[in-house]
């Protein structure tokens, strides 16, 4: 369980020449009673890991789609305690790694050490805290380490090389490469500098590099996946779940994986 489970699951994909598709969902959007059902559905669709958002009243990194999902989840009475209770109840029925994405305030309110211990008991494998700077990490890093929870770091294109090198060195499980300069949400395309940025992170990092923010279709996933180990898709998955379009989610995940497989096959044909 924990860090080792996350790292093993992602490395197995890479060693099998597969790219990683990691969907993001907002816990409590649609009700906490469907959370485990949605996790199992995404696992069956071929997801490599699931990023599970904790709703927060001031989500500074999120665009309108995920903000709206967070509001719906809060209105449903969702909080960190209830999410961890649901995850703990279902931890023996799932095999896919779970990475919690939460802002710092709910963790402070919960208690740093208590949060890390609760994550371990709930079968959480990794944690992302987007508003916690690298300089402030010591307030929770040791508690996560003591409970074998991977501390996933985010890297931004605006950061200097020295900082990216340090983030890549510190990140556990995978390195979250923010592929846009802005908040989450669907984009028509990505900046041309993204490919060189992702390739640089691949050189710096000892863990898989996953690109997130602004990935909304199989073609974008394919293009970004050429330069890293896979993608994280949030707003589009959240939007489709809210609309009840589960078959479109299956097509998005399956189409992305199929595109990567075709790309890999073509590479073998071109370079025997």
Domains defined for the chain, CATH in brackets:
3-270 (3.20.20.70)
Query: pLDDT value at position 109?
Result: 96
CA distances to 12, 22, 230, 261, 267 from 17, rounded to whole Å, are: 9, 16, 11, 8, 11
Q: Is the pLDDT of residue 70 over 90?
A: yes
Q: Is the pLDDT of residue 216 over 70?
A: yes
Of the candidates 148, 143, 110, 128, the one whose C-alpha atom is nearest the C-alpha of residue 51 is 128
Residue 261: pLDDT band with limits 50, 70, 90: low
Better-scored residue on pLDDT, 235 or 204: 204
Q: What is the mean pLDDT of the chain?
A: 89
pLDDT tens track for 140-175: 999 999 999 999 999 999 999 999 999 999 999 999
Most confident of 24-28, 191-195, 232-236, 254-258: 24-28
Query: pLDDT value at position 259?
Result: 59
Of 4-18, 71-85, 105-119, 214-228, the least confident: 214-228
For the chain, give the percent of residues with pLDDT over 70.
89
List strand residue ranges (DSSP E) for the chain, in order: 20-26, 50-53, 98-101, 126-128, 150-151, 153-155, 175-178, 209-212, 230-233
Q: How many CB atoms lie within 10 A of CB 189?
A: 10
Query: pLDDT value at position 192?
Result: 53
The catalytic residue positions are 51, 62
d(CA 110, CA 80): 8
Residue 258: pLDDT band with limits 50, 70, 90: low
Global pTM reads 0.90
Residue listed under structure tokens 């189409």 = 255
Of 203-212, 236-245, 261-270, the least confident: 261-270
Query: pLDDT value at position 190?
Result: 45
CB 231 within 8 Å of CB 214: no
Q: Is the pLDDT of residue 266 over 80?
A: no
Query: pLDDT value at position 264?
Result: 54
Better-scored residue on pLDDT, 267 or 49: 49
């Amino acid at each position: 369980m924990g860090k080792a489970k996350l790292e093993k699951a992602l490395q197995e994909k890479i060693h099998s020449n597969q790219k990683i598709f990691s969907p993001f969902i907002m816990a409590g959007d649609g009700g906490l009673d469907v959370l485990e059902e949605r996790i199992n559905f995404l696992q069956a669709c071929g997801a490599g890991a699931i990023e599970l958002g904790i709703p927060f009243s001031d989500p500074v990194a999120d665009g309108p789609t995920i903000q709206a999902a967070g509001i719906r989840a809060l209105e449903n009475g969702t909080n960190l305690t209830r999410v961890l209770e649901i995850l703990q109840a279902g931890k023996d029925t799932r095999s896919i790694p779970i990475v919690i994405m939460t802002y710092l305030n709910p963790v402070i309110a919960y208690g740093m050490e208590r949060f890390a211990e609760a994550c371990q008991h709930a079968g959480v494998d990794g944690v992302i805290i987007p508003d916690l700077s690298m300089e402030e990490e010591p307030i929770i890093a040791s508690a996560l380490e003591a409970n074998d929870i991977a501390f996933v770091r985010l890297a931004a294109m605006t950061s200097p090389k020295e900082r990216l090198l340090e983030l890549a060195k510190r990140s556990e499980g995978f390195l979250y490469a923010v592929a846009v300069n802005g908040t989450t949400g669907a984009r028509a395309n990505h900046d041309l500098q993204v490919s060189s940025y992702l390739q640089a992170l691949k050189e710096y990092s000892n863990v898989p590099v996953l690109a997130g923010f602004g990935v909304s279709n199989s073609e974008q996933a394919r293009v970004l996946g050429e330069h890293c180990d896979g993608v994280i898709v949030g707003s589009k998955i959240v939007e489709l779940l809210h609309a009840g379009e589960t078959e479109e989610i299956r097509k998005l995940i399956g189409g992305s994986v199929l595109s990567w497989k075709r790309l890999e096959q073509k590479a073998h044909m071109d370079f025997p």
